Structure formats: C-alpha cells, structure tokens
Amino acid sequence: MVILDGKAVAAFHREKVERRLYDFQERHIQPGLAIILAGSDKPSDLYARSLQKVAQGVGLSAEIYRLAETVCEHDLISMITHFNEDKNIFGILMMMPLPRHIDAAKVINCISPEKDVDGLTDSNIARLFSGRPGFVPCTPRAVMAILDYYHISLTGKEVVIIGRSNVVGKPLAQLCLNRNATVTHCHTRTRDLVAAARRADILISAAGSPGLVTADMVKPGAIVIDVGINRVEGKTVGDVEFEAVSQIAGAVTPVPGGVGAVTTMMVLENAVCGIENRA
C-alpha cells in the first residue's frame, strides 16, 4: 500500500511556483494577492494566515483584508471592485463562509474572472464545464495534482466521487471526465453507497463526514483519495477510516498531510497563472 504524500506533492509545486515568481521579480513585477476575510469564522482566519505565510515564503505579496461581521454587502462589493481595478493585484481570494446576511453568490461573481484564483465565479465554472481555459477550484486541482505526481492515469478507470458540492464534488467530476474516466457521483441519497463505492478503481470522498468510508467500501487495490477535513475530539481526521482502509487499498491519502497540503499551493499556482496572463 502506497501513502500518497500531499506534502511531497506540495513541495514539488512550491519549487515550480518559486521559479516562476523569481522570473517576475527579475522583470520588476511585484504581484499581489488580496485575501478578503469578512466575519469571525476561526477556521477561515487560520487558513487565511497560513496561506499568507506560505505565499510570502515563495515571494508573493499577500495581504489579508479583514471586515467586521456586520459589514454590508455594498461595502464588500466596493472592496472587490477596487481590487479588480488595481493593476498590482493579480488574484482575489474570498474566504468562506461569509456572514449570513451576505449573498455569497452575488459577491463571488463580482470578482473579475481573471483574478478569481479560487475558480468559483460562474464564468470560471462555465469555462471548466465547456472545456475552455480558466481558473479551476483549488481543492479539485489538488486532487488531480496528486494523481499526476504519482503517475496515476484516469483513462478508462471507474471513478466514484462521494460528495456533490459546487466547490469540490461537481468540478472534480468534470476534471475526471476530461481525463477519460467513467464517473459515478454519489451523495446522501445514493441507495447502496457501499456497492457503488466498491466498483471504484479510484474512490474519492469529499463529503465532510468522518469515518464515512470503511474498508468494506473499498475494492482491493483501489486508489482512495480523502478530501474530507473534520475535527473529532480535537484531532483533524478525514472521511476515510484510514487504518482499516489502508489494509485494502493500493494507495491512500492521509489526513492531515494529503489533499489539504496541496490545496494551498494550487491557490498560489492559480495566482501565478493570473500574473502570466496579465503581466
């Protein structure tokens, strides 16, 4: 059984990002990433600070712009409009969730598609599903980066995805289809989840449900990708019962140290792509 080490994948992509950013610095281009944090969600704050630290570590200027829980939608959109027009800002990342009184879809779609490094605007989602170039959501990109790093082909494979969110499950299914996989999409109303999962050559869980994927759901030798990040008794765990599943699977991602470790680098790669497209 192979551990699909997200830290190794992240390090590989970090080196590429650093080289590309060095080229921009040689051309006296100082690119900036705007991270907008509205409200007081603690996980979002922790992730924003972690992302800022990693970005600055590779030579990308990243600033966190904090707004109160009571911020009005108009002021939030005005900030986004300002960053859309700022030639020194090449990427805009809106941290989620937003305060309840904010229309998240409306706000996200105010971001210029060319600066939407999380790939969540309707424009970028449409580009993904129509096969046109655009930003792809970072967590699905991280899954594909892990598969690529370990030379795991999707052509002709049975891929089963558990979870159908707009941020992970749906775009991930499209990415797999684009790689010539046969995709089965499962969710909370799938009648026989165990039987569906056992068909998978590659099983991906993005349900956010700790312990959801058990050993009896895994075909011997299958590749298991755990996208779930859950807190249980003070520990970070995924959707997969790692110890039991690792006895059956051919390869599996750990949590932590798997998909999550790569996702941050995908944000920065998207930001670099935005610089290359506009510089």
Name the DSSP letter for residue 99: P
Please write down the long-range contacts of 194-203, taking CB distance under 8 Å and 24 or more positions apart: 196/160, 197/160, 197/162, 199/158, 199/160, 200/158, 200/159, 200/160, 201/157, 201/158, 201/159, 202/147, 202/152, 202/154, 202/157, 202/158, 202/159, 202/160, 202/176, 203/159, 203/160, 203/162
Cβ–Cβ < 8 Å for 205, 226: yes
CB proximity list for 194: less than 8 A, separation 6 or greater:
216, 217
CA dist 109 and 123 (Å) reads 8
Residue numbers belonging to the annotated binding site for NADP(+): 163-165, 229
Q: How many helical (H) and strand (E) elements, i.e. helices and strands, does the chain have?
A: 10, 11
Q: Report CA-CA distances (Å) from 122 to 36, 154, 239.
A: 19, 27, 28
Residue numbers belonging to the annotated binding site: 163-165, 229
Sign of the alpha-carbon torsion through 129, 258, 10, 222: negative
Element (H, E) at 172: helix 169-178
Q: Which two tokens stand for residue 53?
A: 């630290």
Q: Pick the closest to residue 39 from 61, 72, 63 (CA basis).
A: 72
